[in-house]
Amino acid sequence: MSGPEDPSGWANPFSTRFTRPGGIPYRFPPGTSAELLVERLAESGWQGQILGAHGSGKSALVAALIPAIERAGRQVVLVELHDQQRRLPDDWLQRADPSRPAVVIVDGCEQLAPWNRSAMKRSCRRRGLGLLVTAHRSLGLPDLFRTSVDLALAQEIVRSLLGEQQSLIAPDEVKQCFERHQGNLREALFDLYDLYEERRPPGPAV
Amino acid sequence: MARSFRLYEKKRGNRRTGSKRFGSLGEALFFAVFFLLGCAGMVFLLATRLIPEWRVNHAFIETTCTVIATDGGKTRIAYHVSGEPVPRVATAGSTAIGEPDKAEGAGDFAQDGKYPCWYDPAYPQTVVLARGYTWWLWLTLSVPISLLLIGGGGLVYTVVSLGKSVERRAARVKRSGPRDSSEETEVAQPAFPHVPPAGRITDSPGTELAYRLPMAGSPAWTLGLWLTACLLWNGIVSLFAVVAVNSLWAGAPDWVLIVFLIPFLAIGIGLIVVFVRQLVLATAIGPTLLEISEQPLYPGRTCDLFLSQTGRLRIHWLEVLLACDEEATYRHGTNTRTENHRVYQQSVFRRERLEVQQGMAFTARFAAEVPPGAMHSFKSGHNEINWKFVVRGRVAGWPDFQRAFPVIVRPNGLGINKS
Amino acid sequence: MKEPLVRIRLDGNGRVHRPEETLSGEYRLDGISPEEIKAVEISVLWHTEGKGDEDLAVHDFRRLSAESGDRIDVRRPGRFSTALPNSPLSYRGVIVKIHWCVRVRVFLARGREVLGEVPFRLGEVLPPRSATFWARARAAEEDSHSRLSPSEEDRHSCLSPEGLLSPQADPAAAGEGLASVGEEVPTAATDPPDSAGNGHPPGEDHPEPKAEATAP
């Protein structure tokens, strides 16, 4: 069976279904864990920012932190901002249950217009909401973590995705992909999708 | 020009055009606005600049004047009209015509010197000390001319089409026979979830076959954008240019303004060049029309096609492909990426060494079959499978062109077993 | 104690299903005590897979809930059946794939869930990379050319019918004979980038056209 949880046997392990944030378990560097980061976040008054380049795993880290934040007794309000989205959804504040402490997580926060960002920070402060953002550059919140991906980590992730089909893609090819995209793992995985698709064995009848 | 073109084409998506008549009226209104703007601009330029300048160079009468005084760029002169002295001393302009009291400068003239001058026989107080043409004024004519052409051409096309299409459709549908799948009503057909409806294609009747396929994307939108940019930029820059030129002619050039304007003028000229180039490219290769005998299509079934290509062209080769593209959109974080992959391509028509004469059209009829076992058209939130006919060609002296005409392929049950 | 497991079996022994046919089958809950079960959901759905975000649509959905008084008997298999739609058909594309499946999700006490899923095939669409698809496409193309009568084609051309009937493997080859003094002969390098030949899959005669990633 190729890829995790693939009853059909058709799946390309580099499909977005398997590689989207949360699909690949975040690999913490030694000495770090989701719980430790949540502790650090709590120490900074539940205010923090996760910084990193494109495709370095910011969204994946957020997906890994959410259960830990919830275990710490805080509800999570996740807002994912996409390309060109300059303001928060209208109902973002209503998503939080006022009877429970909450942390608002804004993924892609630098997309917000500066005035919307300031308004968001003010609203969170007024309501006692925690705020954790992801961005490519500092937005003035305490640094929680800086994500990065090196070749060794990329190789490990690819190995785990390939499962029993390691022979289809050589480590050198992973290296070339990774270097061609200058460390952007997401783009490298898209390229590996095409490579796997060209070389995949014929699937089962269904 | 080889073609008239419409700025408004059928848009993609499930939106159906409402009343065709209302749509055509809206279209006519759209072009009428352009036409009126062009008229207004033309009238303004002609009345205030071009005609007066022409009159200076052709209608003004020469005489001799005496310079009374030169003061701050103003040259005050005395001269005779038909032997009689002009009642008051006039301030001479150059070729720029307007109120003669405005000091516009007339070069170096010595006091009490005698010089030739030219006066307006209709209004002798209007006099100039130099003649000639202001080249950039004639360049600005391109702006209202473009508006007139776009608006006028579009208006004519809209009015002509409005009158023709309904009657011609009735006649053609009668002639083209029973291969018209519009007779299968939507009510009789079972639903096809996530297969785009064929309605947006069957909205447009053909003249030779049942349906005229809409073209994906229209060069007119690109042209419209360039024209808008051109007009806005040059409109603003020309205001400053007028001031700068006036200061030059007045003998007191504003060098700061002139130097500041140079790069802006360069950009403005560049925009005009780009627009003209786009216009020529879009109009030289005339409209491509593709009509089809039935919609939607089914795997394993054949349809007839009619191709018409106009334009004054020498074509090395002209080809029609049937193609299928997969499209996948991925959005996460700040990243939105859409990827296309062609999974099928088949040439259904090809001709080489054609010559299309001005005002005539190359036409051809041929058949195409969607291969048995092919996947149907599909559309979901982030993934699509699109079928299309692609007309492409290589034309002498022009870049290769390619125009796509989307079609809908429905499933016919089991795929390969049904034909 | 056995691991909780959901087994699903489709009637028809894994054959390909047709649109509008009835899909039926049964599911069994193994290793699950009846007291633990809060609800069972049976879905017939399709989802996409590939390089785009996953889309999913449920064609048929049924929920049995202990709270609502529905009888959930773990000793006997549960049955399901539904009439399949006309589309979308199962598809094994390159960057877009469509999978149909039956999912049974069992909600247990203390927030646990057990999921069982079995795929099935709706329709027999050929994968675009399969040799069978291209063989049939070539056959269809040759059949299409052989139906063209000379009178239809010669209306606008002085080419002979024979010149039209042979499918062109390479648009660049069509350039042979075009050249005269001073004219450029189209070659593979200068042909339009998506030129892939007639009736041939991208990649067979030419390097496969690279998928273009375009950001809006």
Convert the pLDDT of each residue in C1-34 to its tens digit: 678 899 999 998 778 999 999 999 999 998 888 8
Reply yes or no: is the peptide bond before residue B296 cis, omega within 30 of 0. yes
Reading the block at residue B147, the tokens are 């508006």
Is residue B191, in this structure, part of any structural domain at all? no
Cβ-contact A190, C52 below 8 angstroms: no
The HSE-up count of residue B407 (CA atoms within 13 Å, CB side) is 29
B90-91 vs B74-81, strand pairing mode:
antiparallel
CATH number for the region A34-147 comes to: 3.40.50.300
Which residues in chain C are contacts of B415 at CB distance < 8 A? Answer: 89, 123-126
Name the residue type at position B128: V
Neighbours of A, requiring at least 3 CB pairs below 8 Å, are B, C
Rg (CA), chain B: 31
Chain B, nearest residue to A111 by Cα? B334
Instruction: Indicate yes or no: CB of A54 within 8 angstroms of CB of B334.
Output: yes
CA-based torsion, C185, C190, C194, C199: positive or negative: positive
Question: Which one of A78, A83, A194 makes the best mutation probe of the B interface by having the most chain B beta carbons within 10 Å?
Answer: A83
Is the torsion defined by CA of C200, C201, C204, C208 positive or negative? positive
Structure tokens belonging to residue C39: 């609800």
Beta-carbon-side half-sphere exposure of residue A38 (alpha carbons within 13 Å): 20
Of the listed ranges B355-364, C82-91, C95-104, the least confidently predicted one is B355-364
Number of folded domains in chain B? 2
| pLDDT score, position B140 | 78
- More confident call, C147 vs B356: B356
Q: What predicted TM-score, i.e. pTM, was given to this entire model?
A: 0.64
Cβ atoms of A205 and C14 within 8 Å: the answer is yes
Contact B339/C214, CB-based, under 8 Å? yes
Residues of C in contact with A193 (CB under 8 A): 50-51, 95
CB-count exposure of residue A189 (10 Å: 0-12, 13-18, 19+): buried
Given a contact cutoff of 8 angstroms between Cβ atoms, the answer to whether C118 and C8 are in contact is: yes
Exposed (0-12), middle (13-18) or buried (19+): which is B107, by Cβ within 10 Å? Answer: middle
Q: Which two tokens stand for residue B403?
A: 């125009």
Q: What is the mean pLDDT of chain A?
A: 87
For residue C117, the chain A residues in CB contact (below 8 A) are: 7
Sorted by where each begins, the domain ranges of chain A are 34-147, 149-199
Distance CA A15, CA A24 (A): 11
Spans of all domains in chain C = 5-120, 131-175
Q: What is the DSSP letter of B48?
A: I
Q: Give SS3 for B347.
A: strand
Task: Tell me which chain B residue has its CA closest to the CA of residue A136.
Answer: B334
B342 closest CB neighbour out of C141, C152, C202 = C202
Which ipTM did the prediction report?
Answer: 0.76
d(Cα A148, Cα B173) in Å, to the nearest integer?
Answer: 64
Dihedral, CA of residue B232, residue B234, residue B238 and residue B241, to nearest 10: 130
Decide: C105 and C32 in contact? Cβ < 8 Å.
no
Bridge partner residues of B341 (DSSP): B326
Q: Give residue B90's pLDDT.
A: 61
Distance in angstroms (rounded) separating the CA atoms of residues C203 and A198: 10
Q: Would you say residue B103 has pLDDT above 80?
A: no
* Pairwise CB contact (< 8 Å): C141 & B369: yes
SS3 category, C32: coil
Q: Are B130 and B104 in contact (CB under 8 A)?
A: no
The tokens for B16 are: 């159906």
CB-CB under 8 Å, B330 with A80 = no
Residues of A in contact with C119 (CB under 8 A): 7-8, 10, 206
- Tell me the per-residue pLDDT of B282-318, one tens digit each, with 9 for 90 and over: 777 788 999 999 999 999 999 999 999 987 778 899 9
DSSP tag of A205: -
- Put simply, whether C211 touches A (Cβ < 8 Å) is yes
What's the half-sphere exposure (Cβ side, CA atoms, 13 Å) at C38? 8
Backbone angles phi, psi at B35, to 5 degrees: -65, -45
**Phi, psi (deg, nearest 5) at residue C95:** -105, -5
- Of B107, B130, B153, which residue sits at a domain end? B130
pLDDT band at A131 (very low <50, low <70, confident <90, very high): very high
Give contacts of C92 with chain A, Cβ < 8 Å: 10, 203
Q: Give the pLDDT band of residue B139 (cuts 50, 70, 90).
A: confident
CB B138 within 8 A of CB B95: no
Give kind and range of the element (H or E) at residue C125. none
| Of the partner residues B330, B333, B334, the one whose CB lies closest to the CB of residue A16 | B330
Structure tokens at B196: 């785009």
Cβ contact (<8 Å) for A83 and B332? Answer: no
Cα C62 to Cα C45: distance, rounded to the nearest angstrom: 12
CB B253 within 8 A of CB B76: no
CB contact under 8 A, B332 and A54: no
Which residue did the predictor score with more confidence, A103 or B1? A103
User: Among A4-8, B19-23, B121-125, C46-50, which is the least confidently predicted range?
Assistant: A4-8
Question: What local confidence, expressed as pLDDT, does residue B98 receive?
Answer: 36
Å between B255 CA and nearest CA of chain C: 44
If we measure between CA atoms, which residue out of B98, B116, B101, B108 comes closest to residue B55? B98
How many other C-beta atoms lie within 10 A of the C-beta of residue C75? 7
Name, in order, each residue with C-beta under 8 angstroms of A183's C-beta and a sequence gap of 6 or more.
A53, A55, A56, A148, A149, A150
B331 vs A contacts (CB less than 8 Å): 82-83
Is residue B15 over pLDDT 80? no
More confident site: C177 or B201: B201
For residue C153, which of B349, B372, A5 has the smallest C-alpha distance? Answer: B349
**Cβ contact (<8 Å) for B374 and C156?**
no
Q: Which residues of A touch B (CB under 8 A)?
A: 16, 20-21, 54-55, 58-59, 80-83, 107-108, 110-111, 134, 186, 190
User: Torsion angle, CA of B103/B104/B106/B110, rounded to 10 degrees?
Assistant: 20
Q: Mean pLDDT, to the nearest integer, of B348-376? A: 90
Residue C147 parent element (H or E)? helix C131-147
In chain C, the residue whose alpha carbon lies closest to the alpha carbon of B352 is C178
DSSP string, A100-140: S-EEEEEETGGGS-HHHHHHHHHHHHHHT-EEEEEESS--S
Instruction: Please name which of B124, B138, B133 lies closest in space to residue B63, comparing C-alpha atoms.
Output: B124
B335 contacts on A by Cβ (under 8 Å):
54-55, 83, 186
3-state secondary structure of B62: strand
**What gap in Å lies between CA A197 and CA C202, rounded to an integer?**
14
User: With a CB-CB cutoff of 8 Å, which residues 43-82 of chain C face chain A?
Assistant: 49-54
Q: Which tokens hold the place of B358?
A: 């001005």
Nearest to C97 among A7, A10, A198 (CB): A10
- Find out whether A85 and A37 touch, Cβ atoms under 8 Å: no
CATH code at C5-120:
2.60.40.640
Residue B120: domain span: 61-130
Q: Which residues contact B131 (CB under 8 A, 6 or more apart)?
A: B56, B57, B60, B95, B118
Q: Is the pLDDT of residue B320 over 80?
A: yes
Tokens of B198: 């064929």
CA-based nearest residue to B337, from C31, C205, A49, A184: A184
Number of residues written out for chain A? 206
Spatial separation of the C-alpha atoms in residues C25 and C17, rounded to whole Å: 13
Contact C133, B300 (CB under 8 A): no
User: How far is it, in rounded angstroms, from Cα B136 to Cα B53?
Assistant: 12
Most B CBs within 10 Å: which of A15, A24, A82, as the mutation test of the B interface? A82
* B171 phi/psi in degrees, rounded to 5: -65, -45
pLDDT bin (cut points 50, 70, 90) of residue B376 is very high
- pLDDT tens figures, C151-198: 333 333 322 233 322 333 333 333 333 222 223 223 333 333 333 334
Q: Does residue B42 belong to any structural domain of this protein?
A: no
CA B57, B60, B65, B71 torsion-angle sign = negative
Q: Which of B330, B334, B339 sits opposite A108 (nearest CB)?
A: B334
Q: How many residues does chain C have?
A: 216
Q: In chain B, which residue's Cα lies nearest the Cα of A83?
A: B334
**Most C CBs within 10 Å, among A10, A18, A186, A206, to test the C interface:** A206
Instruction: Please spell the DSSP secondary structure of B241-261, one letter per residue.
Output: HHHHHHHHHTT---HHHHHHH
